[in-house]
Amino acid sequence: MRLAALTARQYRSLRAIRMELGGVNLFIGANGVGKSNLYRALQLVQAAVRGTFAGEIAAEGGMMQALWAGPRRNHERARVAFSVEVEDAERGLTFSYVIEAGLRPPLAAGFIFEPQVKAEQFSVDTGRGPVVLMKRDGPGIVLRDERGRMRSLDESLMASETAIALLAHGGVAPEISTFCRFVEQWRFFHGFRTDAGSPLRHPCLAVTSPLLDEDGANLAAVFATLSVTRGDTVDLDRAVADALGGARLVIPEPETEASFGLALPEFEKRVFTARELSDGQLRFLALAGALLSYRAPPLIALNEPEASLHPDMLEPLADLIARAAGKSQVWIVTHSERLAEAVRLRCGLRPLRVIRKDGATWIEGMRLTGMMPDGDDE
């Protein structure tokens, strides 16, 4: 399965944008053009599936901060909307999910600026056109039954709840469960803390860890899983040596805790613990853990992964991204022209340059359909 398209409307700087997506999606642009809002839109789709959508919007400052601040046409309602299309090539299906959220009506119950989910829809296309399997309008949900009839569910939703999360694991609609399992496995890495209290700098519980946590807290266990369970750290060792001047990653066999250190060529008899590493060294190791974990997530999203990295680490990082792209769909947001060029050369893609167009975030050269003109891809 793969994410084929993303649409966002009236969310922050995203007036109305649709993007068709490939195996590696590389977004580059200046500060303030809205690159991170594209990344965030994808996160909010996952939040809807997990049932945390309202909380995520509230954490941003509430609906007033989330809504598009520019002019709206007279008929347009003040709502944010996100939709994704997911292709299941093995079964010849395309899943589509849409969510819309807005403000509380003036005299309705609920918190003033809490996001209220107004509508959701889930459809499946077998090649003969989309068929709606679930539709939510206000608190009510209708679901297509085995005979193809739309029936109302007894369940009534609160305005802050999402129907997709309610149905994700109930076994009521297998197609919805399949879609939700796929989206829940996406991984978003928005920088890693490297201060003295960062979990990256401390041992973690010795528990087999096939995937890196989004805060990197289980990094040592991810390395130990590669070393002990898979017995293969060739790609990891090569990446560390290339990026860190010939350094060698030291992964002790874990007991109750897992840890790691670095052996540097200029100090052959000393292993430097995670507490002693520089911010750049530690961040690169965390990115390596994200991109080379034992199990490949279906989608890995990196937001400004070049932060705190020495420029000489960018080509090895691009090598990691290209290697990960063999198993996962990858989404990268960056300021770095050097990283973008390195990824372009290794993955044979056209970087998507994010710009402001009439005050809204846009992709340079992109058509309104979300497609880039023919001949632009390499």
What the block records as the tokens of 308 is: 């705190």
Distance CA 16, CA 226 (A): 42
| CA-based R_g, the chain, Å | 22
* Residue 376 domain-assigned (yes or no): no
- Domain residues for the domain of 97 are 2-23+32-186+352-363
Same domain, 114 and 235: no
Contact of 5 with 321, CB cutoff 8 Å:
no
* Residue 378 domain-assigned (yes or no): no
Same domain, 223 and 325: yes
Same domain, 323 and 359: no
Note the pTM of the prediction, 2 decimals: 0.92
Helix axes 234-243, 314-324, angle to 10 degrees: 160
Tally the domains of the chain: 2
* Residue 369 domain-assigned (yes or no): no
Same domain, 39 and 182: yes
**Per-residue pLDDT tens listing for the chain (378 residues):** 999 999 999 999 999 999 999 999 999 999 999 999 999 999 999 999 999 999 999 999 989 899 998 888 777 788 999 999 999 999 999 999 999 999 876 545 556 678 899 999 999 999 999 999 999 998 899 999 888 899 998 888 888 999 999 999 877 889 999 999 999 999 999 989 999 999 999 999 999 999 999 999 999 999 999 999 888 899 999 999 999 999 999 999 999 999 999 999 999 889 999 999 999 999 999 999 999 999 999 999 999 999 999 999 999 999 999 999 999 999 999 999 999 999 999 999 999 999 999 999 999 998 887 777 765 444
Distance CA 169, CA 371 (A): 34
* Residue 373 domain-assigned (yes or no): no
Same domain, 70 and 134: yes
Same domain, 181 and 193: no
Which of 297, 305, 281 lies closest to 26, judged by CA? 305
